[in-house]
Amino acid sequence: MSDVEFIETTKVYDDGTVALDSLSLRVRKGEFLVLLGPSGCGKSTALRLLAGLEDITRGEIRIGGSRVNDLPPGARGLGMVFQSYALYPHMTVRANLAFGLRRNRGDTRVSEAEISARVEEATELLDLRKVLEKKPRELSGGQQQRVAIGRALVRRPKVLLMDEPLSNLDARLRNRMRFELRRLHEAHGTTTLYVTHDQVEAMTLADRVAIISEGRLQQSSRPLEAYNRPANSFVASFLGTPAMNLIEGAAERGVFTAGELSFALPEHLAGWTGPGIFGVRPEDVRIGESGDVRCRVGGVEHLGSDSIYHLDAGGNWIRALWHRSGGGAAGSDGEEHRDVRVDLAVPSALIFKE
């Protein structure tokens, strides 16, 4: 059963902007789905439509099998965590956690005993015991974010929505929180939709990643599958640092040509004829004495464990990633302005129509 379903969901804003263009996507129960794409591609719009904060222009959204298009936000059973935590500054962490539950009235009223039990559970899960009696301003960014997550979780949402929840944190804390979020998801198992433009977050957090460009879904698959078998050159270039090398050209009789660059395609691509975009990951480009592409080293970025070689191959720039412990031939030869040879016809190479 899918917990959330977008069916040809479209959002056109009043000024004519098509923010989301016929999105069809299912999120399974218990799944951690990441909506990934560059800024402005429509990720937050998808989340806001699901939350009921915006009206849907066309199409449908279902939660737990029921159409929710006309349901007010409060009736959708969702928990939300956004970039800004918006904790109540005058309340302790404990009170912040309980506040949303105390507001419930009528059928949804939660007893004080139940509130205590849920707050206790969130405290344990999110490691908040030491800060329970503190006010938000006395907490670190990471602790505040954990409280914000706890506040969403105590409501036992059917679906948890998170929109760039880590983007206000510094790099180290972000790395730690990323790890914690994954651990947390494994512990509580709530169906989660998570929006980010950060491909590392997507790769590490997601059970499945849905990659969006200009309001359109490009691919939805397990992260490694999207990395290894991208559906098109957009996905290929969006996942991976440094980005995949993409060379626009054309193939004929097993030879790929792009301007002055020409090389034999690997066996699995040799049947391709006509225009195409050849793609090879920087980590798969081997620099050495052999290889049928001659290039000049234009520059090297040394990052510590890795070095990125920028190679000029007949007017096409190719990036090669050399990893220190890899012990490969790359790196040992490549000084700036030297001529080297690379082999692009590797088994992992891809070719795209668009």
Contact residues toward ligand ADP (CB under 6 A) are 13, 15, 17, 19, 37, 39-45
**Closer Cβ to ligand ADP, 196 or 245, answer by number:** 196
53, 73 Cβ separation under 8 angstroms: yes
Q: How far is the CB of 264 from ligand ADP (least distance, A)?
A: 40
- Report in angstroms how near the CB of residue 8 gets to ligand ADP at its nearest: 17
- Going by C-alpha positions, the residue among 306, 277, 311 that lies closest to residue 291 is 311
The alpha carbons of the chain give a radius of gyration, in whole angstroms, of 24
Measured from the CB atom, the residue of 191 and 196 that comes closer to ligand ADP is 196
Q: Which is nearer to ligand ADP, 48 or 281 (CB)?
A: 48
DSSP states along 9-74: EEEE-TTS-EEEEEEEEEEETT-EEEEE-STTSSHHHHHHHHHTSS--SEEEEEETTEE-TTS-GG
**Smallest distance, ligand ADP to C-beta of residue 15, A:** 5
Instruction: Considering the complex, state which of residue 17 and residue 66 has its C-beta at the smaller distance from ligand ADP.
Output: 17
Question: Nearest to residue 85, comparing CAs of 150, 131, 129?
Answer: 150
Q: How far is the CB of 128 from ligand ADP (least distance, A)?
A: 29
State the minimum distance, in angstroms, from the CB of residue 204 to ligand ADP: 20
Task: Give the amino acid at 191.
Answer: T
Which residue's CB atom is positioned nearest to ligand ADP? 44
Q: Two tokens at 236?
A: 């290929």
- Please identify, using beta-carbon distances, which residue of 19 and 318 lies nearer to ligand ADP: 19
